[in-house]
Every structure is written in C-alpha cells, then in structure tokens.
Amino acid sequence: MRFFLFTLLMVLFGCSAFSSGRTDSLLAVLKTELSRRKIYDDQKEHRIKKLKSALSHTSINALDDQYKIYKELYEEYKVYQFDSAYVYTSKLELISRKLNDKPKFYDSKTKLAFILLSAGMFKESFDCLNEINTRFISDSTKIDYYSFKSRAYSDLADYNNNKNFTPGDNALSIKYIDSALKLCKSGSYEQYRLLGDRQNISGDIARPSSYLVQLLLYYPLTYHERAMVSTELSNFYNSPGQLDERIYLLEVGAISDIRSSTKETLASFKLGEQLYKAGDINDAYIFIQHAFDDAQYYGARLRKIKIAAMLPVVEAAKSIITENEKHRLLIYLLSIVGVSVLIALISFIVFIQLKRLKVKEAIIEEKNIQLGKINDKLSEDAHIKEEYIGYFFNLISGYILKLEKLKRNVERKIATKKYDDLLLSINEINIKKERDSLFYTFDHIFLKIFPNFIDSFNSLLKKEDQIWPKDNEVLNTDLRIFALMRLGISDNETIANILEYSVNTIYVYKMRIKAKALVPGDQFDHKIMAIKAVDLLSKS
C-alpha cells in the first residue's frame, strides 16, 4: 500500500513533491491550492454565467433546450451551492411536468434527493426518494437512486451513532448498494466505487479496498471523483501506524475538492481532525475553518453543526500555543539581554587584563635580551590582540547600544501590551548582515596585521592549486580557516562555530588543502604559524 501511495503521488503531483517528505510536501501543495481557490471558483462562475446567457437566448417554447441547460446548471451547482441547485432541480421538475415526461420528472426527483441529502435534510431526502417510481427511470438513474438511498441510510447511521438503530440503518444501506451494483457495468467506475462503499459500510476495512485503489491508479477520474474516492479510501487506514497514509489521502481529496470548486466536501474537515490528533494545531485550524466556510457556503446544515462543534476546541488549543510562544519569546529576549550584559562585563575585564599583560611583556623584553625570540612572539601576539580586542570592544559597545534600544522598545511594547509588535522589533535585527560585517572587518584587520599572508600561503601550493580571493572578496572560506589557525585558533569545533560550518566541513577543508601542499601536512601547519606579522616584518 505504501508503494500505491508513492505511485499515486508521482502520477498526481510529480517527483518534486517528495523534496521534504510525502505528507509535508503534499500539505504545501494543498496550502498553495487553498490560496488559489478563488481562481477555481471564478472559472466555475464563468461557466455558470455562459449557461445562464445561453438560457436567456433560448425560446420560451423550446422546453427540451431549456431542460438541457437547467440540467447543466444543476450539475454545476449540485456540490457547489445548495440553494441554486434546488432552484434548478425545481425548474427541471416544472419542465418535465410541462413535457409530461415521467422519466425526466423522476430523474429530476433523484437529483433533488441528492442535494437534500447533501444539505443534511434526512426526512426531506427520504420523502423525495420514496416518491420516485423506478419503473420510469433509466438504469443509470436507477444506479443514482439506489446509491443515494444507500448513502441516506449510511449517513443516518453515522448521525444516530446508536447501537439500537445504526446496525439496521447500515443493513438497509448495504441492501440498496447491492441493488445498484446489479445494474452497474463490470469494471466501471460506478461498480468499483460502490464496492468500495460497501466494504466501508460493512466494516470490512482491515485492508485497503483494492477497488478504490484501482480507481485512483488506473481510471481517468475527474477532480470531484478523485476527491470522493481518496476520502473514502482514507477510512481504510485507521490504525495509529497508518496516520501518514490517512493524512496523505485526505490531502489528495482536499486538493481535488478545491480544484473542482466542490463546497459539499468532507476531506478538509477530516484532514483537520487528523492533523489535530497528530498535534499540528495551526494547520488543523486552517483546514477545519476552511471546511466550515465551505459548509456554510454550500448550505450543508448538518455538517456545519458538526464542524462548529469541533472548531472552538481547535481554536482554543491554537490560542494556548500562541500565548506560550509569546511567553517563550519574552523569556528569550530577557535571556539575550542578560547574556549580553555578562559578555560586555567579561570583555571589559579581559581587556583590562590584556592591557596589564602588555605592560609586563614590555618589562620582560627589557630585562631578558637572551629571550629575544620568545619576546618576538609575545610582541606579535600582543599586536594581534590589540587590533582584535579593540575591534571587538567597539563592536560589543555597538551591540550594547542596540540591545539597550531593543530593551527599551520591548519594555515599551510590553507596557502597552503590544505583544504582536514584539516580533517586528526582533525582525529588525539583520543577523546575516551583522555576520557579513563581522567577517569583512575580521578579514581587513587580519590582512593589516599579516599583509603577506595570502602570498605566503599560496607559496606552499602548486600554481594550479593556489587559492586567491575573488574581486569582491578579502578572504574566502579556505583562507579564513587558516587565518584563524594563524591567530592560534586550531580547534576545529571553535573554527566551525565562528564560521558557522559543521566540524566535519572544517576538517574536510583542511585535509583537502593539505593534500595539495608542497610540504607534508604536519609541516604545513608549522609554515602557516611561521608567517610573520607586519610589525615583525618591519623590524627585519
């Protein structure tokens, strides 16, 4: 069955839908289609407008032509809008009476029974069905008649949900399905659809219906037919381990309903229920609200009541999640402020300590001439620290000012209870821009200290393997990794954190370059560390 679902998704939506998981990808398609539903509705309204225009140009005496157009208008409205569908079934009855055509009259009654049933009007549906004399209708209309009567009893069984009445209603439903099946052509859509319905109503859902599977895979279904079949088939995936398959089929059904402008639909509501059970509250609310809007638009009274009972539950859960997210955001902001203050304090202490260290280094340099090489190294380190600590001190000071401004802004919005504006305030911080600025300044300061670094680095490689920055670069990633090493940061994890790469990526970068070096790998690191800073170059 998983292979069937994979195949169906390939057929319906193409390979691209598998980029981030089957159901998640299809959910994205569904949301896109949901945003485009007005386009599909406008297309339907355009077809209706053309039919009404044709009707206005039809002679009042051309009853057969009027009947044909009324029938087409009914087909457009029957799962789109109950009130309009009811108007045109009434007109079909009126024309058939004028024509004294009993087959047309009872066919109109069958159509009326369908829309009454779709609107949840059980009594009216049964009254209408019981008025139909099956001796005067064609086999295709009889199939509809028995199918609608079967659905009426199965819907009633679902509505009653009572151990005393439901079994009897389901038994009558199966009885009328069997009557319809006797009239179906072998291998037809109607036969397979009714056989799948029979399995579902009789409780034979331990295994997915092979009839419904064949319809989805091998039959040229309309969007409306595909929606009905996939929604029906979802009932066969009812175990906890089949949640993905059930959601997937309901997503197919909901997409097909939107594309066919079907408002008398069940897929969106059932999908919302499943997403709610799966813990996806936000998406559950979207589709249950969509189902409620469709039910209200169509005029499905019973379904609207059922959805309305579920909607507040989901909405309450959604509100709780929203409030929790606001609290987490507030805690996060306060944590950032606290950590930033701590970092600023530590940086100041480190700066003072480094200043003291520099004084001690000067005293040692004067009194210990015999340690000249060591003093050269200390001088170089001191110079590097002076450049970078000064830069970072200024950078942190700037961040403190930004954080102070953000803190005041957050406090003001909290005081005025403008919680929705908090996210806008956070989004004003452009992390990418700040990071790019950090690397840009780092590169310039580094080359100020080590102006010969790029030339010295490339002298360790063959000409064809040398790495040079592009016109718009100061240092690239390869050079920046070894620049950090030259500054004494040799730990791959630390370098990865600074450059925002994985530790494995940093390791691969290093090994790839060392493999091309003119010297062995261990000597390559020593050569990098031996590159002189600008102040020592000037001494020599």
pLDDT of 156-206, one tens digit each?
A: 888 888 888 889 999 999 999 999 999 999 999 999 999 999 999 998 888
State yes or no: pLDDT of 100 exceeds 60: yes
- pLDDT of amino acid 357: 81
pLDDT tens across 141-151, in order?
Answer: 999 999 999 99
Mean pLDDT of the 272-287 span: 89
- pLDDT of amino acid 180: 94
Task: Collect all residues with Cβ–Cβ distance below 8 Å to 350 and sequence separation of at least 6.
Answer: 389
- pLDDT of amino acid 148: 92
State yes or no: pLDDT of 317 exceeds 80: no
State yes or no: pLDDT of 9 exceeds 60: no
**How many other C-beta atoms lie within 10 A of the C-beta of residue 389?**
15
pLDDT tens across 382-440, in order?
Answer: 556 655 666 665 666 666 777 777 777 777 777 777 666 666 666 666 677 777 777 78
pTM for this entry: 0.59
Looking at residue 452, what DSSP letter applies? T
- At 304, the pLDDT band (50, 70, 90 cuts) reads confident
Domain limits of the chain? 316-429, 450-540
What percentage of the chain carries pLDDT values higher than 70?
85
Phi/psi of residue 461, each to 5°?
-125, 155
Alpha-carbon distance of 281 to 273, in angstroms, equals 10
**How many other C-beta atoms lie within 10 A of the C-beta of residue 79?**
23
State yes or no: pLDDT of 540 exceeds 80: no
Q: Where are the alpha helices (DSSP H) in 235-371?
A: 243-259, 267-277, 281-298, 301-367
CA angle 160, 163, 166 (to 5 degrees): 45
What percentage of the chain carries pLDDT values higher than 90?
40
- pLDDT of amino acid 371: 58
Alpha-carbon distance of 377 to 384, in angstroms, equals 11
State yes or no: pLDDT of 323 exceeds 80: no
State yes or no: pLDDT of 20 exceeds 60: no
Mean pLDDT of the 336-361 span: 83
